[in-house]
Structure 1
Amino acid sequence: MTTSGPLLPAAPGLLFEAEGLTKHYGPNPILQDVGFAVPRNKVVSFVGENGAGKSTLFNILSGIVAPDAGRMRIGGVAYQPRDYGEATRRGVARVFQEQSLILNVPVYENLLIGQEARFARLGQVLDRPAMIAAAERIIDDAGLDVDVRRRTGDYDFSKRQSIEIARACLAGIHLAAIDEPVVLLDEPTSALDRRDEEAFFRLVAKIRARGSLLFVSHRLTEVLDVSDVIYVLKDGRLVAELAPGGTSEADLHGYMVGRERAADYYYERRQRVLAPAAPVVLQARALAREGAFEPIDLAVRAGEIVGIGGLLDSGKSALGKAVAGVDPPTSGTVSLDGGPDAQPDIGRFVRQGLGYVPAERMAEGLIADASVAWNISLASGADLFSNILGVWRRRREIAIAEHYVRSLAIRSAAADVRAARLSGGNQQKAVLARWLCREPKVLVLDNPTRGVDAGAKEEIYRLVRDLADKGVAILLITDELLELIGLANRIIVLQRGRRVAEVPAPASAKPTERELVALMLPQSGRADGVPGPAVADPVDPNEPELAR
């Protein structure tokens, strides 16, 4: 790291400063001469396309990687962390884009990880009651309804995200007497449900009164709502510093991608009008999983996009896993392409032409330390990439991987690059490429654009339309309400594991957010719990994730 030359004198009111941060991986520049200032008690946001350099910037700030050049300062004092531990001791904490909790230990152990020495008696025996008490203070300060004694894995994905946010925001304040924390939030709300999201923004206000926050999110409306200053990164450079008051979502998109966001963002004009005789390619009958969803029938025809919507407790992701045979259902059958009804099995279904993209790409979709080529070939080792003698066809694997790197514009990637080196959106494209190379007949997509920037989302939406044009039957499960409405031919609504409605969604007559939310929310006054015509709570048109 280059440190020659003094930093400019500290400006009054600044908590964190960076100047000239530069980082290369091989010949590829990832960050180029990035400098910015973070005032005390403010929220400073960074937006940019996947691959713009946001995660690399946060890796430098949190001590995970060292810059090739540049200088930083906290509270006027030089800051050059050698590792993540030193960064946290200096008051820099981080919520990662992918969860970093240990699921098989109690919540309090996750909240206090790395702080165990503070609770050791005689240097050897942990004072667990004291640890539990300290963890409870953190949870209470965060405003969360969590029992710190429970196993972390017993909580759903949204609640675990809240636990991780509480750890980053408050552990240093409670345990290390950090007076002015600098908290790095990397896509913190991408997996939060509505209640946890509201608790998160209350926590942001609380931390803002004590220190400062650096915030990355692909939800541009959210960025505009929470930020005091917005920096735009493009191709590793800061290209704009904006005040949210005079900036629109369209302005941010233009700075990020260098073009205006398309008016037809979901390519609704390309939505297929299916003939009545279009063949059914995916048919589920009386599919049920105990504790997740009750018996459900559904059918998807060739070239059709059927959306599945509902709140986080609706069972929609569990339904997708059951249809694909990832988590076999308790009862019911699925048939593919007119074949026999059978218990779903992911191995057999893949051979018959089904692909499945999971919601949690790092936990279920990718092997981060393996190459892009290996991740793309992962589902096809038995047929596409080995000969009849079982010999691996390495040249074919590389050629196909390079084809999809080019055709899907997987940035900063080559066939032999580790998947962990890619940004979230480019990792998602690699997961999609795994199934595209098999020319699937059916695709089950669970939140295919989670943690993906606006430009990459648009590319994925175009790809989904291309697949529908080729006759692929697509089951789309998503928490994003506008995505559900914009892409689907029709929408099946689940509520607490029950199918409660099917809503037509032709391109010429899309349902509104209000109409769908009314179906997703439990309504009082009905003995069976099925929503009637009652009006839903008021919907803010600028908040498309109300289905979360």
Structure 2
Amino acid sequence: MMSFSSTTEHRPGPPPGAVDSLLEVRNLSKSYGPIRVISDVSFDVPRRSVVTLVGENGAGKSTIFNILSGLTAQDSGTVRLDGQDFTPDSHRKAVARGITRVFQEQSLVQNVPVYENLLLGEEARFTRFGQWIDRNAMIRTARQIIEEAGLDVDVRRKTGDYDFSTRQSIEIARACLTPTILRGVAEPLVLLDEPTSALDRRDEEAFFTLVNKIRRYGSLLFVSHRLTEVLDISDVIYVLKDGAMVTRVTPDETDEHQLHGFMVGRERAADYYYENRQQPPGTAAPAIRAEGVQVLPDGPGVTLEVRPGEILGIGGLLDSGKSRLGKAIAGVIRPLAGRVAIGDGPLRHPEIGHSTRKGLGYIPAERLTEGIIAGFPTAWNFSTGSGGDLFSNRFGLWRGRKERSATLAHIDALAIRSATPDLTMARLSGGNQQKVVLARWLERKPDVLILDNPTRGVDAGAKQEIYRVLRDLTDQGVAIILITDELLELIGLSNRILILQHGGVVAEVPAPPDAKPEEQHLVALMLSGPGQPAAASPPPPAPAADVPAEAKPAILEAAQ
């Protein structure tokens, strides 16, 4: 069996001058206080190529991106861009040299038009007489960017009018095309940090078309936890572990399971979703009931129930209303109609404060805007959901020592890398931030947990840790509603799956551990027309959790 220990052959990349590289990184190191984040990292980005960095959350990928984009300075090491020394001390200077970036969390201003976001910071190029902004010229340039990217977007519309996936596509287009269209950069370098984690299938197709267009005259440095996607798009793959470079491979030298092994130091478990621990929910009274919950103006009401120890999966396209349904059941937003009962309580209009007191926890999809306050310490973010009861006494005095000890206990239990109670959340990787959000609700020992894309932007090893925690919770009788865009995750974890279209349930699909439905079947249900029947019983299950190679074209074709 192949070993994936830290003694794996170290191949930091070819020596300087061995290839015609747009970017050369040598012996890069960075520490934050006593914590060493990256150590002697070296790699190359050849001209007109796609180079991918993979590794667990906390492996140092975002730190490398921060150095290259001028947001932080390395402690030691050198960077050369297009044959010249490159040490930007600001993001603006990095952009001026032709380096642009798509951040892991969106950085668009939602209440301004799309064209203003596309050209944010470039307004001086469109001023007349130094005072008046030529908005028509901005709109024409923005349209050129959008058309070149192949997007169906009105640049005059408010950015927030578009869904999360479309906003992500707008941000990708801005990073990929403005260096050439606006600044005339001959060979741009685009840094893509988890750009596809929130894209639906149709937008993914547009993204890959855009990547192939960019690589004709520039290069891309890519970070993704979707290893199948990494193998499809990359020319070279570098693997980071614990801040050090483990190996350098090409897609034809490796596969998904081997990459996972390099990243985490072990092979991926065959039972990745712990399906052997999936238990039937039994006949106990429902832990949560929803009746007639309506979330879209023209949509029907949704009625469902989840029993203790059961995972109810909810799937659908981005416009299906599945995220709004989760928010409505939790009481984060008020549904247009319908009521919810938690435990043996009465049906009532859901409200998040009441739901939390009754034993419900909710983890949102958009971590940075809804899940955390990035500038605040880890301990503060951890205790946010429990400040009124668990961490203050009856006189309202804060119990800081208890907060700190509880935070440390969860950091240890969930292996939250590089975290301390006093470290700000902005210093943690996206996956470790997500673990803090999960820990917030584990501390409350909920009876019901609603999770919306809980592993978005999380590496394969951390995903498996989260899956284990979810199985532990079901063993304890917690009822879980899982909303996710990851089909294999939806299939592998759920007891039953509800498929939504236009805010209503079009199918309920059983998913027992010995007869899991196929991806193709769920995709067909998501895409079936209004008048088409939605079969409730799945076809015979695939022999393995992974999609057969011959089935992938059919799935992609169905999703167009």
The TM-score with structure 2 as length reference comes to: 0.93
Return the letter of the residue paired with 2:78: R
- What is the CA–CA distance in structure 1 between the aligned matches of 2:534 and 2:277, rounded to whole Å? 32
Give the match's secondary structure for 1:514: helix
Corresponding position of 1:540:
552
Q: 1:404 to 1:541 in 2, by over 3 A?
A: farther
Q: Which of 403, 426, 432 matches 1:426? A: 432
Corresponding position of 2:303:
297
Contact 2:191–2:222, Cα closer than 8 Å, also in 1: yes
Q: Tell me the CA shift for residue 522 of structure 1.
A: 2.4
Contact 1:284–1:297, Cα closer than 8 Å, also in 2: yes
Contact 1:305–1:476, Cα closer than 8 Å, also in 2: yes
The answer to whether residue 363 in structure 2 is matched with residue 357 in structure 1 is yes
Corresponding position of 1:489:
495
Q: Tell me the CA shift for residue 542 of structure 1.
A: 11
The answer to whether residue 437 in structure 2 is matched with residue 401 in structure 1 is no
Q: Tell me the CA shift for residue 313 of structure 1.
A: 1.1
Q: Tell me the CA shift for residue 273 of structure 1.
A: 1.9
Q: Tell me the CA shift for residue 274 of structure 1.
A: 2.5
Q: 1:234 to 1:546 in 2, by over 3 A?
A: farther
Corresponding position of 1:21:
28
Return the letter of the residue paired with 1:414: T
Corresponding position of 2:73:
66
Corresponding position of 2:458:
452
- What is the CA–CA distance in structure 2 between the aligned matches of 1:521 and 1:437, rounded to whole Å? 39
Q: Tell me the CA shift for residue 530 of structure 1.
A: 4.5
Corresponding position of 1:142:
149
Contact 1:10–1:76, Cα closer than 8 Å, also in 2: no
Return the letter of the residue paired with 1:346: I
- What is the CA–CA distance in structure 2 between the aligned matches of 1:214 and 1:155, rounded to whole Å? 27
- What is the CA–CA distance in structure 2 between the aligned matches of 1:290 and 1:438, rounded to whole Å? 31
- What is the CA–CA distance in structure 2 between the aligned matches of 1:8 and 1:196, rounded to whole Å? 38
Return the letter of the residue paired with 1:436: L
Q: Which runs of 5+ in 1 are unaligned?
A: 1-6
Q: Which of 386, 391, 395 matches 2:397? A: 391
Q: Tell me the CA shift for residue 495 of structure 1.
A: 1.4
Give the match's secondary structure for 1:178: coil
Corresponding position of 2:375:
369
Return the letter of the residue paired with 1:317: S
Return the letter of the residue paired with 2:449: L
Contact 1:369–1:420, Cα closer than 8 Å, also in 2: yes
Q: Which of 152, 177, 190 matches 2:184? A: 177
Return the letter of the residue paired with 2:434: Q
Q: 1:188 to 1:13 in 2, by over 3 A?
A: same
Q: Which of 215, 220, 223 matches 1:208? A: 215
- What is the CA–CA distance in structure 2 between the aligned matches of 1:151 and 1:197, rounded to whole Å? 22
Return the letter of the residue paired with 2:45: V
The answer to whether residue 162 in structure 2 is matched with residue 158 in structure 1 is no
Return the letter of the residue paired with 1:165: I
Give the match's secondary structure for 2:232: helix
Contact 1:285–1:297, Cα closer than 8 Å, also in 2: yes
Corresponding position of 2:441:
435
Q: Which runs of 5+ in 2 are unaligned?
A: 1-13, 540-549
Give the match's secondary structure for 2:470: helix
Contact 1:310–1:316, Cα closer than 8 Å, also in 2: yes
Give the match's secondary structure for 1:540: helix
Contact 1:292–1:315, Cα closer than 8 Å, also in 2: no
Q: 1:171 to 1:292 in 2, by over 3 A?
A: farther
The answer to whether residue 139 in structure 2 is matched with residue 132 in structure 1 is yes
Corresponding position of 1:465:
471
Alignment map for 1:195-234 (pairs within 5 Å): 195-234=202-241
Q: Tell me the CA shift for residue 8 of structure 1.
A: 7.5
Contact 1:480–1:545, Cα closer than 8 Å, also in 2: no
Q: 1:544 to 1:349 in 2, by over 3 A?
A: farther
- What is the CA–CA distance in structure 1 between the aligned matches of 2:311 and 2:273, rounded to whole Å? 12
- What is the CA–CA distance in structure 2 between the aligned matches of 1:136 and 1:11, rounded to whole Å? 40
Q: CA RMSD in A?
A: 2.0
Corresponding position of 1:3:
none
Q: Which of 87, 93, 114 matches 1:107? A: 114
Give the match's secondary structure for 2:211: helix
Contact 1:281–1:301, Cα closer than 8 Å, also in 2: yes
Q: Tell me the CA shift for residue 483 of structure 1.
A: 0.3
Corresponding position of 1:413:
419
Corresponding position of 1:4:
none
Contact 2:497–2:510, Cα closer than 8 Å, also in 1: yes
Return the letter of the residue paired with 2:172: I
- What is the CA–CA distance in structure 1 between the aligned matches of 2:286 and 2:46, rounded to whole Å? 58
Contact 1:221–1:543, Cα closer than 8 Å, also in 2: no
Give the match's secondary structure for 1:378: helix
Return the letter of the residue paired with 1:33: D
Alignment map for 1:326-365 (pairs within 5 Å): 326-365=332-371
Return the letter of the residue paired with 1:240: T
Q: 1:76 to 1:319 in 2, by over 3 A?
A: same
Return the letter of the residue paired with 1:449: T
Contact 1:309–1:547, Cα closer than 8 Å, also in 2: no
Count of paired positions: 537
- What is the CA–CA distance in structure 2 between the aligned matches of 1:546 and 1:404, rounded to whole Å? 42
Corresponding position of 2:197:
190
Contact 2:202–2:559, Cα closer than 8 Å, also in 1: no
- What is the CA–CA distance in structure 1 between the aligned matches of 2:180 and 2:261, rounded to whole Å? 38
The answer to whether residue 84 in structure 2 is matched with residue 77 in structure 1 is yes
Return the letter of the residue paired with 1:486: G
Return the letter of the residue paired with 1:391: L
Return the letter of the residue paired with 2:419: A
Alignment map for 1:315-330 (pairs within 5 Å): 315-330=321-336
Return the letter of the residue paired with 2:361: G
Q: Which of 279, 284, 299 matches 1:278? A: 284
CA displacement 1:351-371 (0-9 Å, x = unmatched): 110000000111100011111
- What is the CA–CA distance in structure 2 between the aligned matches of 1:545 and 1:245, rounded to whole Å? 25
Q: Tell me the CA shift for residue 534 of structure 1.
A: 13
Corresponding position of 1:521:
527
Corresponding position of 1:474:
480
The TM-score with structure 1 as length reference comes to: 0.95
- What is the CA–CA distance in structure 1 between the aligned matches of 2:285 and 2:168, rounded to whole Å? 41
Give the match's secondary structure for 1:379: helix
Identity of matched residues, %: 61
- What is the CA–CA distance in structure 2 between the aligned matches of 1:32 and 1:118, rounded to whole Å? 40
- What is the CA–CA distance in structure 1 between the aligned matches of 2:471 and 2:389, rounded to whole Å? 27
Corresponding position of 2:4:
none
CA displacement 1:273-329 (0-9 Å, x = unmatched): 222x22201000011123374201000000100000111111110100000000110
